[in-house]
Amino acid sequence: MQDLIPVQVGLLGLGTVGGGTIQVLRRNRDEITRRAGRAIEVTCAAARDLDKPRGLPLDGIAITSDPLTLINDPEIRIVVELIGGVEPARTLVLKAIANGKHVVTANKALIAIHGNEVFQAAQERGVMVAFEAAVCGGIPIIKAIREGLAGNRIEWLAGIINGTGNFILTEMLDKGRDFETVLREAQRLGFAEADPVFDVEGIDAAHKLTILAAIAFGIPLQFDKVYTEGISQITQADIDYAEQLGYRIKHLGIARDAGDAIELRVHPTLVPRRQLLANVMGVMNAVLIKGDAVGQTLYYGAGAGAEPTASAVVADLVDVVRTLTSDPENRVPHLAFQPAALSNRRVAPMDAVATAYYLRMHAVDQPGVLADITRIFGDLRISIEAILQKEPVPGEPHVPIIFLTHRVRERSMNAAIERIEALESVTGRVTRIRLETFA
Ligand code: HSE
């Protein structure tokens, strides 16, 4: 088996994950060869800055500043795209596909926004585009859903799919550190995106949720339909009140089959503290999936970093090499379902989504105020689960009041919040955080 000619691979991008991929391929060469049936060798890598010290031996690898050198090299069978971002990654990947190369990518933005186009091009050319590393770094979540859960009807999935956001919320909870300081540390540690707005405003999580939902439900990639809310408005007070009520705030991506439509949403969420998801801390990722046959399954691990992400890239390389000789029709479809069988199910508008809620408001501490607020809830048929009124601060006329509600459609909650904010006895805006129990 080892005598077969190695499969040649070209790397687009020689940053953290590119370096990790070279290291893992070299260190585990024998095991990888035994698994794939052929040795896998990186023979060329394209990097923007040729003089940058890489801290790893690059012997046997031609380094070029021109990506087309490897995309046009007839000896290279697989192109690994680790540039990130939409362009020039999209153009280069399409060019590699047109040249008959298989592609492995860690690029979540590319797949979430242009995946439909990329997969169609790949299908027409009979090549594979593998993207395990695009979602949750080292957790084999794409393979788990696409193959391991193929017997199930997926009911919902919910995940901590951005490590930076989870790190920030964890540090705020454990150490009482403020949002800005923790974000700067995440950037220094190197797991935040180049533009950290992508992490804290939920865009990175929305990219990943788009991909997970497509393979879970057999729908096209629809990034523009994901409701996206970040964590930049979460305060220390909300984290503390949630704890006092038995919950923890997590930034979740949630996709749910709601019968008449699919829900696609990323937002901060109160989760019961006893839930495993609530105990995923720091930079770690986890995805909880409910299948009708298997019940709930949980996938946990490192969602970023050189070798965890390289672990997914190399697994994809092994998959591609194993199928080099199979007919394109006999490969696992890119989006889990056969391309002609993808469904056009409606994505629910956010105001039609039903969740429970945590609400925090500031009201004058006098008789009748609570009655005014609860009347509004009653009028809109919103049922209250719990109320927490905090001690007044001396000299401060307003006290924080926290409500937990039962499940209600977002449009009813929007109407209630509008009416509560219009009350003279309530000052400022009402803070609203959705709550899910995953019971
Ligand atoms: N910025 C991402 C995160 C890296 O924090 O999860 C992996 O996609």
Question: How much is the average pLDDT of 10-38?
Answer: 96
d(CA 439, CA 430): 27
pLDDT per position as a tens digit, 89-143: 999 999 999 999 999 999 999 999 999 999 999 999 999 999 999 999 999 999 9
Where are the chain's structural domains? 7-138+306-341, 141-302, 351-435
Non-local (6+) Cβ contacts of 413 within 8 A are: 357, 382, 405, 432
Asked whether residue 300 carries a pLDDT value surpassing 90, the answer given is yes
**Token pair recorded at residue 209:** 């949720």
Asked whether residue 314 carries a pLDDT value surpassing 60, the answer given is yes
Q: What pLDDT does residue 123 have?
A: 96
Nearest CA to ligand 1 atom 8: 304
CATH number for 141-302 (one of 3.30.360.10, 3.40.50.11890, 3.30.200.20, 3.20.20.60): it is 3.30.360.10
Q: Is 137 in the pocket of ligand 1 (CB under 6 A)?
A: yes
Ligand 1 geometric centre to CA of 315 (Å): 19
pLDDT per position as a tens digit, 369-416: 999 999 999 999 999 999 999 887 788 889 999 999 999 999 999 999
Residue among 199, 209, 252 whose CB has most ligand 1 atoms within 8 A, to mutate: 199
What is the position in ligand 1's atom list of the atom closest to the CA of 205? 6
Q: Which of 108, 143, 208, 250 is catalytic?
A: 208
Q: What pLDDT does residue 391 have?
A: 81
Fold of 7-138+306-341: Rossmann fold (3.40.50)
Q: Is 253 in the pocket of ligand 1 (CB under 6 A)?
A: no
Ligand 1 geometric centre to CA of 189 (Å): 12
**Token pair recorded at residue 68:** 């087309």
- Which among 295, 289, 218 has a CA at the least distance from the CA of 254? 289
Q: Is 162 in the pocket of ligand 1 (CB under 6 A)?
A: yes
d(CA 290, CA 344): 22
Asked whether residue 326 carries a pLDDT value surpassing 80, the answer given is no
Q: Is 192 in the pocket of ligand 1 (CB under 6 A)?
A: yes
Q: What pLDDT does residue 393 have?
A: 76
The mean pLDDT of the chain is 95
Q: Is 106 in the pocket of ligand 1 (CB under 6 A)?
A: no
Contact 252, 436 (CB under 8 A): yes
Q: Is 163 in the pocket of ligand 1 (CB under 6 A)?
A: yes
What is the position in ligand 1's atom list of the atom closest to the CA of 192? 1
Q: What pLDDT does residue 195 have?
A: 84
Non-local (6+) Cβ contacts of 379 within 8 A are: none
d(CA 407, CA 299): 27
pLDDT per position as a tens digit, 57-100: 899 999 999 999 999 999 999 999 999 999 999 999 999 999 99
Active-site residue flag, 208: yes
Nearest CA to ligand 1 atom 7: 304
Q: What pLDDT does residue 3 have?
A: 62
Percentage, residues of the chain above pLDDT 70? 99
Question: How much is the average pLDDT of 293-319?
Answer: 97
Q: Is 199 in the pocket of ligand 1 (CB under 6 A)?
A: yes
Q: Is 333 in the pocket of ligand 1 (CB under 6 A)?
A: no
**Token pair recorded at residue 321:** 């090499």
Ligand 1 geometric centre to CA of 424 (Å): 43
CATH class, range 351-435: alpha beta
Asked whether residue 2 carries a pLDDT value surpassing 60, the answer given is no
- Confidence band (pLDDT; 50, 70, 90) for 312? very high
Question: How much is the average pLDDT of 5-20?
Answer: 96
Q: What pLDDT does residue 237 have?
A: 93
Q: What pLDDT does residue 50 have?
A: 87
Secondary structure of the chain in HEC code, one letter for each residue = CCCCCCEEEEEECCCHHHHHHHHHHHHCHHHHHHHHCCCEEEEEEECCCCCCCCCCCCCCCEEECCHHHHHCCCCEEEEEECCCCCCCHHHHHHHHHHCCCEEEECCHHHHHHHHHHHHHHHHHHCCCEECHHHCCCCCCHHHHHHHHCCCCCEEEEEEECCHHHHHHHHHHHHHCCCHHHHHHHHHHHCCCCCCCHHHHCCHHHHHHHHHHHHHHHCCCCCHHHCEECCCCCCCHHHHHHHHHCCEEEEEEEEEEECCCCEEEEEEEEEEECCCHHHHCCCCEEEEEEEECCCEEEEEEEECCCHHHHHHHHHHHHHHHHHCCCCCHHHCCCCCCCCHHHCCCCCECCHHHCEEEEEEEEEEECCCCHHHHHHHHHHHCCCCEEEEEECCCCCCCCEEEEEEEEEEEEHHHHHHHHHHHHCCCCEEEEEEEEEECCCC
Asked whether residue 38 carries a pLDDT value surpassing 90, the answer given is yes
